[in-house]
Amino acid sequence: MRFSIILFGMVQALRLVARLYPKFRDRLKERNLIAQFKLQDNSEGRWVQIENGKVRSRKGIHEKPDFSVIFKNKAIAEEFLTPPFDQLVRIDAAKNFKLLVEGSDELAVWFMTTLNEMQRVRWKGGTPVGNGVVRYTNGTNGGPVFVYVKDGKILRITPVEFDDEDAPSWTIKARGKEFTPPRHTTLAAHGLCQKSMVYSKNRILHPMKRVDFDPNGERNIQNRGKSEFVRISWDEALDIVVSEIKRSKAHGPGAVLVTHGSHHQWGNLGHYLSAFNRFWNLIGCSKLHNNPDSWEGWYWGAMHHWGNSLRLGTPEFYGTVEDCLKDAELMVFWSSDPDASYGYEGTIRREWAKELGIPMVHIDPFLNHTAAHLGGKWISPKPGTDSALAQALCYVWITEDLYDKEFIEKRTTGFGEWKAYILGETDGTPKTPEWQEAETRVPAREARALARQWGRKKTYLGAGGWGCGLGGAGRGPMGVQWARMMTILGAMQGFGRAGVNFGNLQFGAPLDFSFYFPGYAEGSMSGELAYSANAANNYQRMPHVVTMNSSRQNIPKIRLPEAIMEGRAAGYLTDVSSVRGQFLRYGYPAPGHAKIQMMYKYGSPNFGTMVDSNRWVKMYQSENLPFVVNQSIWWEGETPFADVILPACTVFERWDIGEYYNVGAGYVHHMFSMVNHRVVSLQHKCIEPLGESKSDYDIFLAVAERLGLGAMYSEGGNTELDWCKRVFDSSDLAKHTTWKKFLKKGYFVVPADPENARAPTASRWYYEGRKKDTPEPYPLPADYVGEFGEGLQTTSGKFEFLPETLSQIDDPARPPLNHYQKSYENAEADPDLADFPLQLLTPHTRYPFHIMGDDEGCTLQDIREHRVRVNGHAYLVARVNRKDAEARGVKDDDLIRLWNHRGSVVCAAQLTDRLRSGVVSACTGSAQYRPAGEPGNSTDLGGCVNMLNPKKTITEQASGMAPNTSLIQFEKWTGVDTWQRSEAA
């Protein structure tokens, strides 16, 4: 089409759409402007004036347009403007200077958004269900949901129930029975509480400023966390933030530090790996380098035995649901509580296993939720000593000939030395069941009985929360040792053999693993190619402009307080592309980079999730941190430790798109194998943002516009809904359904593979000595020592009992031979710890998602296994052994104070026999922080039990935290706080 005709048509279309749609008419009244479209040589053009909602236009060149869109030549202009629009053509034009935008960035973005709105205004989302109620869909960390809305208000939130149009469910045939999952999704508590989170009284509804913060005068940094806040306008807030960004950037690269929680609200666009990364790449910043929290032992330890670096060192899981149900004769859950934090899709499968009569053993100091539900044998070792039990199993297997010798011989290296160690030939101590009893307190006879069953029966080892890694004993000071032992046990029994593998039925459902829909770690619209999995598929599938952070400065997340307060910090890289990537050390400050001048805090608070968190409190009061802005949805414990607060809205108040438990390649590849049906949902904007809150995307856009980056950030005025459409078009969804239908219905169930085309069982290829056939693109081709697809990602290509890679470093807690070491928090060895006789477990909580959902007004607050209300305040629950409690005169629901040198926290006691004596268990589920006195140096009434955990890393040369098994004491809370932090801690 000719340039002049297209422009003329555009103006006609604006008028026509305005006539037809009142919503669009209203939009035209939002701005008055003159937009010029022209060729670079001014030979042709047309300007459009919008004034009080009226559209005027003339051919030619206006002398004073607000902005101009300038095309290099006619051919380019015509290709660019002729529908249907090709995204690749558009970004090619933008990247290669075929098109320029001059003038007001803000007005240009508004105008381009308006042009897109002509299409959007016709889109209708949601399904009317009668009585003025519309059923929308959304996604949460607890699963996809139906959202019923009436009169602009959320009425209810439910799981997604499938209809007859949705793809059929799979069936597994095992031992004469057939098992098919139910025709709906299940929700975790933190998904089902979402309505109460949206309307929580903790919502931040207006931009705010600390009363005693004056960016041009006294900043009163010492009052962060203490002073009140006053409401300010968005303009004022954004002006302060932008001027602080400019002030900081004048110090050099990396002076702006951005931080975020490990998780965000569900969805591909709003996630920190998406809009947040795009925005910050355009601004330039220091980032917190995330360590693989919850995978500590696997990443820093287990990986060296068998590779799997892109899985953070955890085992494969394909096909394990079917294999386990068909062939396993015993299931061992070791520090494995799948019912704790990722919903209940796998629960039904474990019930099938129970129905089939597969015996179950649970090894955990706490009779965890899964164990309590399934029943079976409970073995409760003293926390941190599990590896001794594991080594005693090896001892029985070796001495009684109960291991897979053929596998050992053909597929492993180093067994001879391992055997010599186990038998005590090298250190004089045979690792007998009696030897372990002294460490673990597990009767020797039970260790023997377990070893014999396990050695004789085909056994599934569910190691960690997901059965194939995550959490549990892997995140204690002895976590590296434990995760390594899990791989060793697996190897001695020949993992990959029918019925012998890693898993607890939580992962490995028989789904379609080739259907492409991106997970959030694939970067979405970030343009970030280095620090997300964007480059693998998304970047080609959804062409968008690449973005790059020019600052090379990173701070190890767990050392942030030291970086700020002491001005230095060092850590080891999380680099999953290879096994050896983790040996690389990096530090702050990076050469030639600036010291931190401001912190842009985004998302959930860290006080409840980061260890020795009193450090974090103190960091905020450091003069080394001149400015802190906090962009949050809720007012939580860390929120007032800021100078300016920007209110973000929830995912129910903006558009997004995402798939049930699909986090994407780069995080946990094919994590959706955890759910029974792949469900992709459009995350409808169900209601308008509350108060003055805005979506993260729009907040970043507003800042970007003030820095002339709006058009680049929004890629020419894309709204979140436009991006949803682009994600839709980029995925395999577009082959199965239409945008119109998807917009209305809101979800799509991806058909499972037919029975004869299911993914092969994990590691069977390795067991049988074939090339790798499981559907994951790992390891990287370069990491195979022999032919592509042959062997494991280790130096030898085999499972290594004594990993060669660990012999390349000298890390005392990670010797090549995984010999038994005691926890470094050891009261017997350290007289300073004599007053702290109890071990503290701090597992993930079951009801909030980490700390998400722990807000005042949220219905989770009423769950008495999470918090108990005493005198109006809901205190976090600490589970204590009945006898330990009675010895201290403590009854159920009494307030107790847990403390050591590092921290002091008040909880509500829950007496139980589900813990061995000497162990306390309190979940890291607090979003609150309520210091009884001086912040950072007093007892916390909010329940941040991570205050009690050490900042010491899991090993000297690993950037992993080591909570769990910290030594503490508890007593009945007197209400008077005299606790003081001891710096020696």
Partner 1 sequence: MAKKWNMVVDIARCDNCRNCFLATKDEHIGNEFPGYSAPQPESGHSWVDVKRHERGQWPVVAAHFMPVMCNHCDDAPCMKAASNGAIKKRADGIVIIDPKKSKGQKDIVDACPYGAIFWNEEEQVPQAWFFDAHLLDEGWKKTRIEQACPTDVFRSLKVEDAEMRRISEEEGLQTLKPELGLKPRVHYKNMHLITHCFVAGSVVEHVDGVEECAANAEVVLSRNGNEVARAKTDLFGDFRIDQLEKNSGPYQLAVSSESSGSAATAFDLGEDSLHLGTIALGEEA
Dump the DSSP string for 212-242: T--TTS---GGGTTTS-EEE--HHHHHHHHH
Only segment of 385-393, 560-568, 647-655, 911-919 that touches partner 1 (CB under 8 A)? 911-919
404 is catalytic: no
Residues in the chain: 985
Q: Does 162 bind partner 1 (CB under 8 A)?
A: no
In DSSP terms, 899 is beta-bridged to 904, 969
Note the Cα 591 to chain centre separation in Å.
30
CB closer to partner 1, 58 vs 869: 869
All residues at 6 or more sequence positions from 304 whose CB lies less than 8 Å from its CB, including other chains: 313, 484, 579, 794, 800, 803, 805, 806, 814
Distances (CA, A) of 480 to 463, 474, 477, 663, 961: 13, 6, 8, 25, 11
List the one residue from 53, 252, 430, 443 that touches partner 1 (CB under 8 A). 443
List the one residue from 32, 290, 426, 912 that touches partner 1 (CB under 8 A). 912
List the one residue from 344, 513, 660, 767 that touches partner 1 (CB under 8 A). 344
The C-alpha atoms of residue 981 and residue 450 are separated, in whole angstroms, by 44
List the one residue from 104, 116, 141, 196 that touches partner 1 (CB under 8 A). 196
Cβ pair 802, 811 in contact under 8 A: no
Positions 772 through 791 that interact with partner 1 (CB under 8 A): none
Q: How far is the CB of 913 from partner 1 (least distance, A)?
A: 4
For partner 1, what does the binding mask look like between residues 698 and 717, x meaning CB under 8 A? --------------------
Cβ pair 730, 518 in contact under 8 A: yes
Q: Measured in Å, how far apart are the chain's first and last C-alpha atoms?
A: 73
List the one residue from 93, 134, 187, 908 that touches partner 1 (CB under 8 A). 187
List the one residue from 881, 928, 955, 964 that touches partner 1 (CB under 8 A). 881
263 is catalytic: yes
List the one residue from 916, 936, 939, 953 that touches partner 1 (CB under 8 A). 916
**Dihedrals φ, ψ of 633, to 5°?**
-90, -40
CB closer to partner 1, 31 vs 369: 369
The C-alpha atoms of residue 294 and residue 574 are separated, in whole angstroms, by 13
Q: How far is the CB of 605 from partner 1 (least distance, A)?
A: 22
Q: Does 4 bind partner 1 (CB under 8 A)?
A: no
The C-alpha atoms of residue 713 and residue 822 are separated, in whole angstroms, by 52
List the one residue from 95, 156, 173, 405 that touches partner 1 (CB under 8 A). 156
CB closer to partner 1, 212 vs 351: 351
The C-alpha atoms of residue 523 and residue 17 are separated, in whole angstroms, by 34
Dump the DSSP string for 618-634: HHHT-TT--EEEEEESB
Q: Does 231 bind partner 1 (CB under 8 A)?
A: no
Q: Residue type for 247, please?
A: R
Q: Which two tokens stand for residue 235?
A: 């303009």
Q: Residue type for 823, please?
A: S
Q: Does 843 bind partner 1 (CB under 8 A)?
A: no
CB closer to partner 1, 84 vs 130: 130
Positions 587 through 646 that interact with partner 1 (CB under 8 A): none
Positions 363 through 392 that interact with partner 1 (CB under 8 A): 367, 369, 372-373, 375, 377-380
CB closer to partner 1, 61 vs 348: 348
CB closer to partner 1, 210 vs 916: 916
User: H helices within 443-494, ranges in order?
Assistant: 444-456, 479-492
**Dihedrals φ, ψ of 846, to 5°?**
-90, -30
- Where does residue 187 rank: exposed (0-12), middle (13-18), buried (19+ CB within 10 A)? buried
Cβ pair 27, 71 in contact under 8 A: no
Q: Which of 66, 166, 293, 386 is catalytic?
A: 293
Q: How far is the CB of 868 from partner 1 (least distance, A)?
A: 12
Only segment of 180-188, 613-621, 684-692, 732-740 that touches partner 1 (CB under 8 A)? 180-188
Cβ pair 407, 458 in contact under 8 A: no
Only segment of 447-455, 626-634, 684-692, 811-819 that touches partner 1 (CB under 8 A)? 447-455
- What is the C-alpha R_g of the chain? 29
Helix (H) or strand (E) holding 6: helix 3-20
* DSSP 3-state of 753: coil
C-alpha dihedral over 73, 79, 81, 83, to 10 degrees? 170
Q: How far is the CB of 325 from partner 1 (least distance, A)?
A: 18
List the one residue from 402, 915, 961, 968 that touches partner 1 (CB under 8 A). 915
Q: Which of 263, 264, 271, 850 is catalytic?
A: 263
Listed as own residue / partner, the contacts of 887-892 with beta carbons closer than 8 Å and 24 or more positions apart are 888/970, 888/971, 888/972, 889/972, 890/970, 890/972
Q: How far is the CB of 140 from partner 1 (least distance, A)?
A: 12
Q: Report strand pairing: 656-659 vs 678-683.
A: antiparallel
The C-alpha atoms of residue 336 and residue 363 are separated, in whole angstroms, by 8
CB closer to partner 1, 339 vs 612: 339
**Dihedrals φ, ψ of 119, to 5°?**
-80, -45
Kindly state the number of chain residues that form the binding site for partner 1, as judged by CB under 8 A: 65
* DSSP 3-state of 110: helix
Q: Does 861 bind partner 1 (CB under 8 A)?
A: yes
Q: How far is the CB of 390 from partner 1 (least distance, A)?
A: 17
**Dihedrals φ, ψ of 235, to 5°?**
-60, -45
Q: Which of 136, 403, 520, 572 is catalytic?
A: 520
Only segment of 109-117, 183-191, 660-668, 732-740 that touches partner 1 (CB under 8 A)? 183-191
The C-alpha atoms of residue 896 and residue 909 are separated, in whole angstroms, by 6
Q: Which two tokens stand for residue 628?
A: 């802190």
Only segment of 11-19, 182-190, 542-550, 586-594 that touches partner 1 (CB under 8 A)? 182-190
CB closer to partner 1, 456 vs 552: 456
Q: Does 847 bind partner 1 (CB under 8 A)?
A: yes
For partner 1, what does the binding mask look like between residues 451 and 480, x meaning CB under 8 A? -xx---------------------------
Q: Does 186 bind partner 1 (CB under 8 A)?
A: yes
Q: Does 183 bind partner 1 (CB under 8 A)?
A: no
List the one residue from 76, 189, 363, 674 that touches partner 1 (CB under 8 A). 189
Q: Report strand pairing: 412-413 vs 799-800.
A: parallel
Only segment of 34-42, 68-76, 169-177, 336-344 that touches partner 1 (CB under 8 A)? 336-344
The C-alpha atoms of residue 44 and residue 60 are separated, in whole angstroms, by 6
List the one residue from 78, 212, 239, 446 that touches partner 1 (CB under 8 A). 446
Q: Does 445 bind partner 1 (CB under 8 A)?
A: yes
Q: Which two tokens stand for residue 35?
A: 């937009």
Scanning the structure block, which residue is given the tokens 């807690």? 813
784 is catalytic: no
Only segment of 7-15, 342-350, 612-620, 826-834 that touches partner 1 (CB under 8 A)? 342-350
**Dihedrals φ, ψ of 807, to 5°?**
-80, -10
For partner 1, what does the binding mask look like between residues 111 and 130, x meaning CB under 8 A? -------------------x
Cβ pair 215, 701 in contact under 8 A: no
Only segment of 31-39, 470-478, 907-915, 948-956 that touches partner 1 (CB under 8 A)? 907-915
| Site residues, partner 1 (CB under 8 A) | 130-131, 153, 155-159, 161, 182, 184, 186-189, 192-193, 195-196, 199, 339, 343-345, 347-348, 351, 359, 367, 369, 372-373, 375, 377-380, 443-446, 448-450, 452-453, 846-847, 857, 859-865, 869, 881-882, 912-917
Name the residues annotated as catalytic: 263, 293, 520
